[in-house]
Amino acid sequence: MKIMSCLSSNFKFVFLASTVIWITVMSSSLAAVGASNVTTIGTGSVTYDRRSLIINGQRKLLISASIHYPRSVPAMWPGLVRLAKEGGVDVIETYVFWNGHEPSPGNYYFGGRFDLVKFCKIVQQAGMYMILRIGPFVAAEWNFGGLPVWLHYVPGTTFRTDSEPFKYHMQKFMTYTVNLMKRERLFASQGGPIILSQAKNEYGYYENAYGEGGKRYALWAAKMALSQNTGVPWIMCQQYDAPDPVIDTCNSFYCDQFKPISPNKPKIWTENWPGWFKTFGARDPHRPAEDVAYSVARFFQKGGSVQNYYMYHGGTNFGRTAGGPFITTSYDYDAPIDEYGLARFPKWGHLKELHKVIKSCEHALLNNDPNLLSLGPLQEADVYEDASGACAAFLANMDDKNDKVVQFRHVSYHLPAWSVSILPDCKNVAFNTAKVGCQTSIVNMAPLDLHPTASSPKRDIKSLQWEVFKETAGVWGVADFTKNGFVDHINTTKDATDYLWYTTSIFVHAEEDFLRNRGTAMLFVESKGHTMHVFINKKLQASASGNGTVPQFKFGTPIALKAGKNEIALLSMTVGLQTAGAFYEWIGAGPTSVKVAGFKSGIVDLTASAWTYKIGLQGEHLRIQKSYNLNSKIWAPTSQPPKQQPLTWYKAVVDAPPGNEPVALDMIHMGKGMAWLNGQEIGRYWPRRTSKYEKCVTQCDYRGKFNPDKCVTGCGEPTQRWYHVPRSWFKPSGNVLIIFEETGGDPSQIRFSMRKVSGACGHLSEDHPSFDVENLQGSQIENDKNRPTLRLKCPTNTNISSVKFASFGNPNGTCGSYMLGDCHDPNSASLVEKVCLNQNECALEMSSSNFNMQLCPSTVKKLAVEVNCS
């Protein structure tokens, strides 16, 4: 497609297929956004100008939510989409995962968790829009950044640059995907939900590393995308040279200061990170709800029109889809909807209230340019007014330490540090980002023993019956090949498996001092990553690993050698392939140096010795984790599963846990390995502990710019203990659970855990913005007619069974550890019990009809409540 530039205020550009049609329009309506030179570019029912997307002729302020279809299961999709819509979301955004859809060249798969069409239609049925980020490179902490591993081995291919083989396969996949969407009439130009498509992903970070080839590739990708004739605009995130009419967008924790490279393009935030990902062995990052809300409010305050949470539901990296390396199987992301599909309170609730208030300002925001007013050194207001009388104001305090009282239109407003107050009528505060008024849910993982299946003839036995299969340490069956020196792990396995055996031998004379003195030799290994187990004469001697920051590692370990020939077998493992970076596909793994010290003759360097290689595990080769091999004679029954045994497969047939709560496997007593249920890949498990000496927080200060190391928990604890098992994978009975354990654990301690909301807390002050979010209409708000109200709600089919804490006065502490202050209404608990007990939900208005409002006259009163649900 020929790329056009802006010409005149009296012309609107509409792109239909490859034809440019010039349509003369009156500029009077565009003057409402303060533009003397406005260009609208788009196709069909979706157009845009510098202020917003325009869908079917209407300006739209859009809240979007990332939900990646393969990170959940089809049975969860309707509930996730419904919960997002209930949270005030208009748009569902997803990547398209190339390596899941084209596992081998020309063989396409769009079924199961990868049924993109079904996912899109669920969104459409919910009455929501979609942003389809085709990429096809995605990063996303997904294995190999979403690109298929086979593509790396197509001769002449270099990823993400002006490489003809790469461009050929990229265009072929993108065209296939676009045509599939067209065939199902899913683009907005066809009446479908897809309003934006994305080409490439975050290429601006790395384009310069590819030189002129990178620039040519970026332009080619844009032109190729436009030639697909989707009928909707294309976007490129973090692409600082995106050519017209492609819209460049922002990815960051904060995008209020972002400006598109062209003044004719709207301000779009494709990734607002409400949390962060985790890597095995690292701490657990959390982003406070107050700061997420602050970032969103600031973005719309400064002219933003489309904002997307990455992630709104993170989900699970099932199987071997996690990248990184070292990305955990959980991709919870501290998102508003947790990994299991439950709303995360208070984050989900706080953002829901924010969305409602921002939406009430939509007309004023999208039809005007703001008037910026200084309210202090780090305080400012942006005021949007139009000829119809609509007025909305955002008052911001960017001071990350001090609250401030500011004067706006002759009225005083208190602004907590690092907060934004939104005034939909330019008078009354409807929302402040730092004041969280919704409940906090108390969520527990309730343990449940594995029960023998109901169909078992030994149903009455107390202990579960296990079967086992033992792997051979080193080469099993026939060796794949022998070679002097080391081969790269990834180039050898081509990611068909995590596992590659490197095996050699060393001869030890009986007169060596370490044998005569009953000592040990020392083995020294260096590796490009990611993890390794060392076996000497079939016995596990040591394990070592890199981490999510530095996958390379080196280590030394004593090894027990005997007189004569000794076998050294190194089991090298990947933990997800590299996700991003310039030329990332060339980053390898596996050992680079092996030496043995302690001999009279000095250090023995085995690096260049003859090494025998075996790809994968015998159990993988036999496919014993698949359902059709479950009765194979290779399984050996046992009355008690062997404990602390490396390289062991375990099988048990179990009942489904009762109820309908989300389910996880508790693997705290296991080492490292993989798990399956009924042939479905749960994923890698590794309850690797973080260092207890690292710095963690018990309470996070939301004030100030967030970074992933700011608010972390879990020091000295496993990064991931529980592993999500979707309910839809279970049968009522006869469920086959298979575990492969690498280093040794206690399978008798494996438990199911059900994720349950067991209670709720609320903490509200009398100066909280008092408005009814659910009934907010337009911008007409009268605060004096409403009182701050604390609302508590238990899960469906449960009620508030007891009141654990209640105090009106000046209570302090946080949920789970509230304490009375020196000001307390003694009738607090009885009032809360009267209103809330045996109810699924209740509302506690802070008014004189409920509480003694004259109590402690000089104190700003607060209400803190904690209840149990059952």
Query: Distance between CA 646 and CA 57 in Å, rounded?
Result: 64
Asked, as a colleague might, if the bond just before 591 is cis with ω within 30 of 0, I would say no
Query: Distance between CA 410 and CA 690 in Å, rounded?
Result: 53
Question: Among the options 102, 202, 362, 620, which is catalytic?
Answer: 202
Query: Distance between CA 386 and CA 364 in Å, rounded?
Result: 6
Structure-block tokens of residue 279: 């890597």
Structure-block tokens of residue 328: 């955990």
Report DSSP letters for 513-563, one per residue: HHHHTT--EEEEEEESSSEEEEEETTEEEEEEE--SS---EEEEEEE---S
With helix as H, strand as E and coil as C, how does 438-485 read? Answer: CCEEEEEEEEEECCECCCCCCCCCCCCCEEEEECCCCCCCCCCEEEEC
Inter-residue contact 210 to 221 (CB < 8 Å): no
Side chain identity, residue 207: E
Bridge pairing between strands 499-508 and 564-573: antiparallel
Query: Distance between CA 861 and CA 853 in Å, rounded?
Result: 8
Say which residues have a Cβ less than 8 Å from residue 731's Cβ, sequence separation at least 6. 656, 678
CA-based torsion, 207, 208, 209, 213: positive or negative: positive
Query: Distance between CA 465 and CA 453 in Å, rounded?
Result: 10
Question: Among the options 93, 102, 207, 271, which is catalytic?
Answer: 271
Inter-residue contact 469 to 635 (CB < 8 Å): yes
| Bridge partners, 134 (sequence order) | none
H or E segment to which residue 120 belongs: helix 116-125
Query: Distance between CA 677 and CA 328 in Å, rounded?
Result: 19
Say which residues have a Cβ less than 8 Å from residue 219's Cβ, sequence separation at least 6. 243
How many other CB atoms are there within 10 angstroms of residue 477's CB atom?
9
Task: Give yes or no: 202 in active site.
Answer: yes
How many other CB atoms are there within 10 angstroms of residue 635's CB atom?
18
Helix (H, G, I), strand (E, B), or coil: what is residue 19? strand
Report DSSP letters for 807-826, one per residue: EEES-BS-TT--B--S-B-T
Helix (H, G, I), strand (E, B), or coil: what is residue 643? coil
H or E segment to which residue 619 belongs: helix 618-622
Max CA-CA distance within the chain?
A: 98
Q: Chain-centre distance of CA 552, in angstroms?
A: 25
Say which residues have a Cβ less than 8 Å from residue 213's Cβ, sequence separation at least 6. 161, 162, 163
Strand (E) positions, 660-733? Answer: 663-666, 673-677, 680-685, 712-713, 722-725
User: With 0-12 CB in 10 A as exposed, 13-18 as middle and 19+ as buried, what is 567?
Assistant: middle
Bridge pairing between strands 539-545 and 553-559: unpaired
Q: How far is CA 313 from CA 9, 115, 516, in A?
A: 42, 18, 61
Report DSSP letters for 625-675, one per residue: TSGGGTT-TT-EEESS--SS-SSEEEEEEEPPPSSSS-EEEE-TT--SEEE
With helix as H, strand as E and coil as C, how does 370-403 read? Answer: CEEEEEECCEEEEEEECCCCCEEEEEEECCCCCC
Task: Give yes or no: 841 in active site.
Answer: no
Query: Distance between CA 676 and CA 222 in Å, rounded?
Result: 41
Ramachandran angles phi, psi of 628, nearest 5° = -80, -5
Give the catalytic positions in this structure. 202, 271
